[in-house]
Structure 1
Amino acid sequence: MAIPPQDSETFQREVDENLRRDQMADFGRKWGKWIGGAVFIFLAAVAGFLFWQDQSAKNAEASAEELAKVIADLGNPEESDTLVPRLQEAAGEASGAGKGAIMMAEAAIEIDNANRDRAIEIYAAIAADEDIAKPYRDAALIRQTLLDFDRVEPDVVIARLQPLVNEEEPFYGSAAELTALALIEAEREDEAAQLFKQIAENPDVPRSLRARSVQIAGTYGVDASAALASIEQQDF
């Protein structure tokens, strides 16, 4: 089930920007620590909106309606114990993008409940399910990697994200930054610095990430300062 092009682009842009906010807050600390629950709730809300936009078959209406109700109940403490079971039931009746949206919302709630292991499992399941739309799978793969960065070997991170470290991919910036950090962990600083330079020079990557990449590349002896002029003129 395809996501309308304009909604897919919105989803990718919003998620990618929030991933970078996570990364900026966590950079300099150990990767894989808890990511703020508010960001995940935001992601769940975006996923829910796209789910509504994507559903046209009548047999998906009940699942879409239940997801909307769960999102509406996210801040209600009286409903907190019912949210995950309701989402799991809805996921069992959904498919495609709808299933992806529901599972993303479930993972967001698990993170908010400090259930990191379960969230990682959910994101991994989304990323591996080829019936789910690619934007959801890619976003889930990066979320999974953010959460278990400190639990897996750097080479695992590098291999996992390799398909997304392509400048044609919508999540290139986030995937490339995580890969570069894994390269540093693997003591492959020269490769990491060159990758940070590539990020800095890419005009499609948000300004905050490009500026940060210039600084990190310089720390490892690679001059990416030529990108600063275009970064200063960038409006996103």
Structure 2
Amino acid sequence: MTPKTDEAFLREVDEELRRDQIVGVWTQHGRLIVGAIVGGLLIFAGVLGWRYWSHSAAEKQAVKLQTAYDSLAANKPADAKAALADLGTSGAPGYSAVARMTAANQLFNAGKTKEAAAQFGSVAGDTKIGKPIRDYALIRQTNIEFDSLAPQVIIDRMKPLAVKDSAWLGSAGEMVAMAYLRLNKPNEARSVFKTIAETDSVPESIRQRAVQGVDAVDVGTTDQKGK
């Protein structure tokens, strides 16, 4: 008899071969396949659980921070202090930083400048916190300590932030320029004031003070030359 070689017969043979291959793979690796599927489902469930826990924890911290702000607004600093202290030791770097800096502001408002500066300094040195927040904390610390610091210490701290493309040029630059004046370096002070005055991203009030600083340095330099 002539062998059946039509398309239907070839398809039937192909399907049978595939069926045999699948059975063979399942026989040899069935447990591994099941284990991989179960492991993938467990990982997926873990990710979902972690996301839910993280969102829930963040929501609780946000509520606690708002409660602290409400207590401050209601002139209940003791209640706010407890909430801020709890947030300050939490595992969330962002909320911890905000709580610690808020507590530092309260210390400053109470006249406890050394404690406030130390609190800002702890935030500035915490590498778990984002750099923009750490830079702000360093500016606040230096501003509070300005009168007690050596001019060169101020310059060393603030100069990296007192550059044209820095978001902190205005605040940091003013302190650097004033420190140069204390070191009797009017040319360096004038250069910093001029950079601040010519940078559009700096707040207008700071730019106006920088213009006044340039004028004051120029007048002082002229007077010294006249003498």
Scaled by the length of structure 2, what TM-score is found?
0.68
**Which one of the candidate residues 141, 146, 158 is aligned to 1:144?**
141
Contact 2:120/2:140, CA 8 A, preserved across alignment: yes
Establish whether residue 188 from structure 1 lines up as the match of residue 163 from structure 2.
no
Q: Which runs of 5+ in 2 are unaligned?
A: 1-53, 220-227
In 2, Cα distance between equivalents of 1:57 and 1:168 = 35
Q: 1:125 deviation in Å? A: 0.7
Identical residues among aligned pairs (%) = 31
- Secondary structure at the counterpart of residue 57 of structure 1: helix
Q: 1:117 deviation in Å? A: 1.4
Instruction: Give the structure with higher Rg (CA).
Output: 2
Q: 1:133 deviation in Å? A: 1.8
In 1, Cα distance between equivalents of 2:165 and 2:172 = 12
- Secondary structure at the counterpart of residue 170 of structure 1: coil
Q: 1:143 deviation in Å? A: 0.7
Task: Give 1:64's aligned residue.
Answer: 62
Q: Which runs of 5+ in 1 are unaligned?
A: 1-55, 223-236
Task: Give 1:157's aligned residue.
Answer: 154
Map 1:125-144 to 2 at 5 A: 125-144=122-141
In 1, Cα distance between equivalents of 2:109 and 2:73 = 11
Scaled by the length of structure 1, what TM-score is found?
0.66
Task: Give 1:92's aligned residue.
Answer: 89
Contact 2:67/2:80, CA 8 A, preserved across alignment: no
In 1, Cα distance between equivalents of 2:216 and 2:142 = 24
**Which one of the candidate residues 162, 173, 179 is aligned to 1:176?**
173
Contact 1:63/1:94, CA 8 A, preserved across alignment: no
- Secondary structure at the counterpart of residue 111 of structure 1: helix
Higher helix residue share: 2
Q: 1:113 deviation in Å? A: 2.0
Task: Give 2:103's aligned residue.
Answer: 106
Q: 1:200 deviation in Å? A: 1.1
In 2, Cα distance between equivalents of 1:176 and 1:201 = 12
Q: For this pair of structures, how many residues does the alignment match?
A: 166
Question: Taking CA–CA contacts closer than 8 Å with sequence separation of 6 or more, which of the two structures ends up with the larger relative contact order?
Answer: 1
Q: 1:57 deviation in Å? A: 3.2
What do you get for the CA RMSD once the two structures are aligned? 1.7
- Whichever residue aligns with residue 167 of structure 2, its letter is P
- Whichever residue aligns with residue 133 of structure 1, its letter is G
Establish whether residue 197 from structure 1 lines up as the match of residue 200 from structure 2.
no
- Whichever residue aligns with residue 101 of structure 1, its letter is V
Task: Give 1:120's aligned residue.
Answer: 117
Task: Give 2:73's aligned residue.
Answer: 75
Question: After TM superposition, what 4+ stretches of structure 1 lie above 4 angstroms from structure 2?
Answer: none
In 2, Cα distance between equivalents of 1:207 and 1:76 = 33
In 1, Cα distance between equivalents of 2:127 and 2:185 = 32
